[in-house]
């Protein structure tokens, strides 16, 4: 079991990672704060005084939505850990106003509760687009994702807290996790530098690295079911941490 490509793209564009926006027929990339709502629609929080706002205004003056591409690159939780790759989603963005803007601000705050949302309509504007095209780029492979599959997928709830989880496992439960991983992988006890350790974790399993320095290997250990949230992970690993 592992995340589907659609789930990975939803996870990357959820709003916890930095994003870049490119507008059709206009040069350059723009840094942007973004989030996605429950349906996978992308929200862009744009300062009124910015090049990106000016580009959107130019489109509004022509009474049309603006074609945009949001580009988000995964940031691995630790040095040496593999990246989930890059997600690119595109659609036609338009400003949301009035009650629609207030509802969109609530959706944004569920992902990133920034105080700047209180200034939507004055210092900031919110733009939204439905994803018409989604792509996932990793290790030289570019895969197109069906927009419906993207919309129906869910972001991984462990991704925003992954770095903290790995630090907790490696510091507070280091020996018990090492013993558990050795049992799961069928490894004999050995030097500390050969010990297995978790590199990445998601709602379906863990990516583990093990072996001697310079020749370490990777293996995936699955949980056997799809986890609902971080509390579900704690319940699953409770026997590991509390073994006598």
For the cut 90, the answer to whether the pLDDT of residue 194 exceeds it is: no
pLDDT value at position 56?
A: 85
- 166-181: per-residue pLDDT in tens? 998 887 777 888 888 8
Residue 226 has pLDDT above 60, yes or no: yes
pTM, two decimal places: 0.91
Q: Give the model's pLDDT for residue 60.
A: 64
54-69 per-residue burial string, b: 16 or more CB within 10 A, e: under 16: ebbeebeeeeebbbbb
**Model confidence band, residue 83 (pLDDT cutoffs 50, 70, 90):** very high
What percent of the chain is modeled with pLDDT above 70? 96
**φ, ψ for residue 31, nearest 5 deg:** -70, 140
pLDDT tens for 107-159 read: 999 999 999 999 998 999 999 999 999 999 998 899 999 999 999 999 999 99
- CA dist., res. 45 & res. 127, Å (int): 7
Closest CA to 240 of 186, 182, 192: 182
User: Does the pLDDT value for residue 49 go beyond 60?
Assistant: yes
- Sequence-distant (6+) residues with CB within 8 A of 193 are 212, 213
CA-closest candidate to residue 103, choices 85, 82, 120: 120
Q: Which of 237, 203, 210 is nearest to 2 (CA)?
A: 203
* pLDDT at 119 (0 to 100): 94
Residue range 57-72, pLDDT digits in tens: 876 666 578 899 999 9
Q: Domains in the chain, start-ordered, CATH in brackets?
A: 5-154 (2.30.110.10), 160-241 (3.20.180.10)
State the average pLDDT for the chain.
90
pLDDT at 59: 64
């Amino acid at each position: 079991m592992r995340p589907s490509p659609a789930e990975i793209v939803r996870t990357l564009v959820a709003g916890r990672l930095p994003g870049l926006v490119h507008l059709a027929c206009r040069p350059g990339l723009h840094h942007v704060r973004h989030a996605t709502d429950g349906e996978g629609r992308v929200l862009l929080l744009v300062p009124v005084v910015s090049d990106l706002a000016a580009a959107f205004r130019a489109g509004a003056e022509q009474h049309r939505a603006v074609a945009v591409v949001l580009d988000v690159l995964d940031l691995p939780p630790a040095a040496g850990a593999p990246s989930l790759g890059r997600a690119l989603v595109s659609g036609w963005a338009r400003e949301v106003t009035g009650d629609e803007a207030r509802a969109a601000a609530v959706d944004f705050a569920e992902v990133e509760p920034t105080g700047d949302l209180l200034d939507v309509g004055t210092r900031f504007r919110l733009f939204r687009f439905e994803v018409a095209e989604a792509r996932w780029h990793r290790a030289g492979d570019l895969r197109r994702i069906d927009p419906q599959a993207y919309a129906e997928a869910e972001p991984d709830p462990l991704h925003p807290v992954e770095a903290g989880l790995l630090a907790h496992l490696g510091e507070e439960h280091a020996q018990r996790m090492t013993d558990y991983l050795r049992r799961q992988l069928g490894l004999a006890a050995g030097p500390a530098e050969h010990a297995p350790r978790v590199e990445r974790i998601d709602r379906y399993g863990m990516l583990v690295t093990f072996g001697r320095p310079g020749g370490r290997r990777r293996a995936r250990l699955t949980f056997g079911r799809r986890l609902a949230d971080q509390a579900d992970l704690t319940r699953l690993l409770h026997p590991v941490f509390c073994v006598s």
